[in-house]
Amino acid sequence: MTFRDIAIKNFKRNFRNFFSYFICSAFAIMIFFLYAALFFNESIRKESADDLIWIVFLMSLAALTLFSVFFIHYAHSSFIKARSKEFAILMSLGMHKNDLKKITALENLMINLFSLLLGIITGTIFSRLFQNSAIDLLELKGVAYSLSPASFITTVGVFTCIFAVSQTLSSVKLSRLELSDLMKNSRMLDNSMNRNAVKLGIAGVLLVLLSTIFLVIVANQENLNSNPFLILAYILMCFTGIYMVIAHLGNTLIGLLKNKSFYYHHILPITEIHHKFNQNKRIMFILSILSGMSIFLVASPFSLLQLSGSIAERNPYDIEFVSVGGIHAIGKEQLQELLNGSSEPFKTMETTTFLSLAMNREGSKYDVLHSKPVISQQMYNLLTGESVEVPVGEAVNIITAWEPGMHGIEPGTALVLSDGSQAFSYTVKASYHGGWFATASTYPSSSGIIVNDHDYKEMLSKVGSGAIGTHYGVDFASWRGTEKFLQQLKHTLDAGDLDGSGTLFPVASKLDAYKELKKNYSLFVFVTSLIGILFFTAGGMVLYFKQYTEMGNAIVFFRKLYKIGISEKEVRSVVSAELLITFFVPLVLGSIFGYSFIYLITHVMSGSDILPEFMKNTTLVVAVYFVFQLSFYTMTKRKYSQEVVRKLSSAA
């Protein structure tokens, strides 16, 4: 019998065990191919000028690659560990380590080739639907479906490297093992017990609680939530606490429950669960973090998509535009004529005078003009309902951008505003995110300036006419029906801006904001949902592989108990309890992390007012993931219990 025959026979005998590995590998390849085909579609690249789209696709490919490395290597290593006794028998019969490496290489070569073939074929079949869906979401016109050779080459190249690295690492591991190691390899625990486990478990719980308190403090303080070191400190505290809980809380609970009647009445399931926790702590920690990141990546865009209308309605007016120094100049009669001709009933219009002045400090990426809109304290409070007080000679910087940070204007700094001929110096009293009298997109700046009423009057009397601006805010019966008026207004304003300077002050509307938000968030949901499904599917399969590799030890354990009187019903009960903990603890801990990170990011992005809606939508995503996990748990429990009971019955 040749090595090829041995490999084929082993493959046939272990077909059911390899099938899950094969299907998940093919599924990962298919998803990767779909994104690669979209990424290398030249017509989409030409029609879409938005770099964000390509960043999303590139990050998706990177995430899929990293996950595939982890998943494929873990699944392959699990099979090697599960077959340790088989390899030990072959070595005891005279087979060399190099022969074992050849057998595993032939087996994996067959799986890798067929999974690549199936993944690319199914990816090619579904690529048209995938690309057409993405094109519709991006609202790209004249873009055709296409398959670039680069997508095939990239997919084959990436997964060939992954399979090769996995096989190389496994071969190195096999070459280092001795016969005695192989005989006991499948029975070795992943981690040994720690005599200080009780204290470490309590410390882990305390650390998780402290990280939660730390999160609330940092998230609600604007001067703290933009500090990357504090955010990193929270993540490290949270991750460390979660790992300590997984690794040692079981020992802590057993220490507290010992000498209690409950412990002795349920000693078998408790000790078996405890054993599983110590054996699976690393993989459960990894899956907890993976679950948390998956929930965050899926729930965030899903919530934003659901809240597109609410976010758009944060704009103070249905339609807004500004006129500065003759730019976007429109007569009152002409504007009134457009309003009277609107199909949507017109309600009110407010005009607000402000100053547009250059500043001495370097602007952020939003400050295209390197200038700031300036308004008086009295007018700001009247328009926004705030009660800001600004002393003479000082200024308050109201940040309107969603991004965290002071955007170059910190409290206490000197700020010089000028119209080109007159300069006015102020000390920044405060700089924070807050409400503004206009939509930030109408004026290309990350913030606006509030000054004392006396200072504003003095500036207004000295600046030239080119620095005086007017803000127009128009409200209708419903902003959803303003499409016709919006187009007419844009056309009229563009016609008056012959030099194209009007593009510096775009017309802002709730309708345009809603369309743009829905378009971008739909893309993110489309991208992250598939990745989330892949992560959770593969996470469930990782746990399935873990149970498979430990089935031999479980059968030996239950066979000993079976001989002294344990019933099949009790065996099924113990298996159900330990699998329930193994499958759902990572998801519960991951959900906690997902909720926490969404809470943090929502406050960092100045979206605390929509936090309740965010949490409600996140709960819906978590519920869907629990249903996914429940299906994997049910499938694994049924097959695992049936196999264990069947072996016990046959042994009897």
The pLDDT of residue 379 is: 94
Segment 385-391 long-range contacts (CB within 8 Å, at least 24 positions apart):
386/434, 386/435, 388/450, 390/429, 390/450, 390/451, 390/452, 391/429, 391/452
Neighbours of 156 (CB within 10 A): 15
Neighbours of 121 (CB within 10 A): 14
Q: Angle formed by the axes of helices 267-306 and 510-549, to 10°?
A: 160
Count of residues for the chain? 652
The angle at the Cα of 540, spanning 76 to 122, to the nearest 5 degrees, equals: 75
CA of residue 165 relative to chain centroid, distance: 27
Closest CA to 601 of 60, 218, 213, 51: 218
The angle at the Cα of 117, spanning 133 to 144, to the nearest 5 degrees, equals: 30
Neighbours of 110 (CB within 10 A): 15
Could you tell me the maximum CA-CA distance found in the chain, to the nearest angstrom?
102
Dist CA 369 CA 504 (whole Å)? 8
Dist CA 22 CA 1 (whole Å)? 26
Tokens standing for residue 348: 């009110």
The pLDDT of residue 191 is: 44
The pLDDT of residue 190 is: 45
The pLDDT of residue 189 is: 46
Stretches where the chain sits below pLDDT 50 are 48-49, 186-187, 189-193
**DSSP codes, 588-632:** HHHHHHHHHHHHHHHHHTT-GGGHHHHHHHHHHHHHHHHHHHHHH
The pLDDT of residue 150 is: 87
The angle at the Cα of 27, spanning 23 to 28, to the nearest 5 degrees, equals: 120
The domain segmentation of the chain, as residue ranges, is 1-188, 319-511
The pLDDT of residue 292 is: 82
The pLDDT of residue 205 is: 84
Closest CA to 593 of 295, 299, 298, 297: 295
Exposed/middle/buried for residue 309 (C-beta within 10 Å: 0-12, 13-18, 19+): middle
Neighbours of 649 (CB within 10 A): 10
